[in-house]
Every structure is written in C-alpha cells, then in structure tokens.
C-alpha cells in the first residue's frame, strides 16, 4: 500500500491531538484514492491478506485495487473510536486498549489502524506500560508497513521509545529523518528530538531543537500546528530552567504568529 509523506499526514497527526483534546475527527464513508489523485467512493471496503482492496460501490458491484494501484484506502470511521477517545480522556486506559485492539486488527491498511493503534499506545504510556507501548507500536508497523512514514503511527512509536527510555534507538531514527530530503519529516523529527532531550534532562538542547523546528522549518507552510507546538514546548522548557524572559518571548511569538492554533489555546489557559 502506497503512503505519502507530505502535509496530508502532518495534518493527520494534528487531528489525533485534536481528538484527544475533545475535538472531532471525521472521515466520510469508504473510498479509494487512485495513483492519479482521483477518488472512488463506495459503501463498504475491506482489504485481503495479500493487500488487495475490495471496494463495494453498489450492491453486487465491487472494484479491486491491487497493491501499487492506489494511494490510500479509507474505511468509514469506526463507531468505537469516539467512545475510545472518551474513555482515554476519562483515564480508563485498560478499557480503551480492550476496545480498540480488535478494531485495529480489523482496519489494517484502511486508514483508521493508525489512529486506533496510536491511541492504544498512548493509553499504555499513560498507564505506565512503556514496554507494552513499544511492542504495540512495533506490531502496528509490522502489520501495515505502509504506516512507516505515517506521522500518527510514527509519533506514537517515538513517544513509546521515549517512555521506555530507549533513547539510542530513537536517536538513530530521528537522525535519519533529519538528514533526509523530506522537509515535513525533518521538522517532525526536530520536534521529537526536543522531546527526547527533555526526557534526558538536557533542557538547553531541548529548547534549541524546539526553536529550530519553529524557525528553520517555517517554509513548511501546512505545518503551522507543528511550529506552534514547538514554540509552546520551548516556552515550557525555558520556564522549567527559570529563563522566564525567554519563555515569555516564545509565548509572544506563539500568540502573534499562530493565534488560532491549539497550542496558543493551551497556553492561554495557563
């Protein structure tokens, strides 16, 4: 299954954050996006073990897309997803995990496995099961290799590695993306490296990584939420090391440049 690494996936990562914050994440019913970018809608979709996508367009009418013949295959939003988000926000982590496990398996390769799998990882981290979170993230990527460059799944793996203190493993992954040619991937890796440095108590370096994300990647126009998050995290880290003046400057930049961002909303509540 083909996946792209452009701004589309960056927005998906932001959507997951919005969902966990209580926002809505909606995707219309089943469809397939062809290689030329055209979309074919259907009333049902499933994927076979060999990767063929079967899209039902009307009763008794079915179109088959073989691996390499489509960009994206999307199932209807699973009914369990919003329920799981509510459970997660209410700190019912075991219930979240139990609810989403079968859903993730059922929707392998059909868009929603990234979201349901990532939420399972988040729940495991929240309940203190970092090793379990790493294992879940790895199984998610192994089950659907197309998620390798999907920020929702990848970010979940990165946060699991941080929680498990597997810093060397994460360092290698981030370095690869930072040295790559995809600007969006590099920007995300820069931000994640700030989180890594935070976990290592290397706070000054964390600030630099966050500021690099906000300043060096401001040409990635569709990633304003990423840049806003970087400024928010830079301000928080600066406050932690008692550099209040610099923290206030970062917050001013956040409010001036990204007033409608979720990071600005969070900062305004503090």
Q: Is residue 155 part of a domain?
A: yes
**Same domain for 51 and 92:** no
Q: Is 75 helix (H, G, I), strand (E, B) or coil?
A: coil
The kind and range of the H/E element at 65 are strand 61-65
**Same domain for 224 and 133:** no
Q: Is residue 225 part of a domain?
A: yes
| pLDDT at 4 exceeding the cut of 80 | no
Q: Grade residue 50 by pLDDT with cuts at 50, 70 and 90.
A: confident
pLDDT tens digit sequence for 114-141: 999 999 999 999 999 999 999 999 999 9
pLDDT tens digit sequence for 195-226: 999 999 999 999 999 999 999 998 886 667 89
C-alpha–C-alpha distance, residues 27 and 164, integer Å: 33
User: Domain limits at 34?
Assistant: 29-76
Query: Any idea what the CATH number is for the domain that residue 42 is in?
Result: 2.30.30
Distances (CA, A) of 260 to 84, 187, 207, 266: 27, 20, 23, 11
pLDDT tens digit sequence for 58-115: 887 899 999 999 999 999 999 999 999 999 999 999 999 999 999 999 999 999 999 9
Is the whole-model pTM more than 0.75?
Answer: yes
**Same domain for 177 and 268:** yes
Q: Is residue 96 part of a domain?
A: yes
Give the DSSP per-residue string, 194-223: HHHHHHTT-HHHHHHHHHHHHHHTTT-GGG
| pLDDT at 242 exceeding the cut of 70 | yes
Domain boundary at 141, 165, 189, which? 165
Considering its fold, how many domains does the chain have in total?
3
Two structure tokens written together for 77: 């939003």
C-alpha–C-alpha distance, residues 264 and 254, integer Å: 6
Contact 250, 235 (CB under 8 A): yes
Domain boundary at 76, 109, 134, which? 76
Distances (CA, A) of 93 to 25, 83, 87, 90, 223: 20, 12, 7, 8, 30
Strands 53-58 vs 61-65: parallel, antiparallel or unpaired: antiparallel
């Amino acid at each position: 299954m083909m996946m792209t690494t452009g701004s589309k996936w960056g927005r998906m990562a932001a959507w997951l954050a919005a969902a966990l914050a209580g926002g809505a994440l909606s995707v219309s019913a089943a469809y397939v996006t062809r290689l030329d970018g055209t979309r074919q809608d259907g009333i049902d979709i499933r994927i076979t073990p060999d990767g063929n996508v079967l899209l039902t367009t009307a009763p008794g009418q079915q179109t088959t897309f073989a691996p390499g013949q489509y960009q994206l295959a999307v199932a209807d939003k699973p009914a369990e997803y919003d329920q799981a988000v509510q459970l997660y926000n209410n700190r019912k982590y075991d219930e979240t995990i139990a609810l989403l496990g079968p859903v993730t398996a059922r929707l392998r390769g059909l868009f929603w496995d990234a979201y349901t799998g990532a939420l399972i990882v988040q729940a495991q981290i929240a309940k203190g099961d970092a090793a379990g979170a790493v294992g879940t993230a790895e199984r998610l990527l192994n089950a659907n290799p197309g998620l390798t460059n999907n920020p929702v799944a990848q970010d979940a793996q990165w946060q699991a590695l941080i929680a498990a203190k597997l810093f060397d493993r994460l360092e290698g992954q981030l370095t690869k993306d930072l040295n790559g040619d995809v600007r969006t991937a590099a920007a995300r890796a820069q931000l994640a490296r700030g989180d890594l440095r935070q976990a290592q108590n290397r706070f000054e370096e964390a600030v630099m990584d966050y500021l690099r994300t906000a300043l060096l990647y401001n040409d990635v126009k569709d990633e304003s939420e990423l840049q806003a998050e970087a400024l928010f995290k830079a301000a928080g880290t600066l406050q932690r090391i008692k550099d209040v003046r610099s923290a206030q400057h970062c917050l001013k930049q956040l409010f001036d440049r990204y007033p409608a961002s979720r990071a600005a909303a969070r900062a305004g509540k503090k």
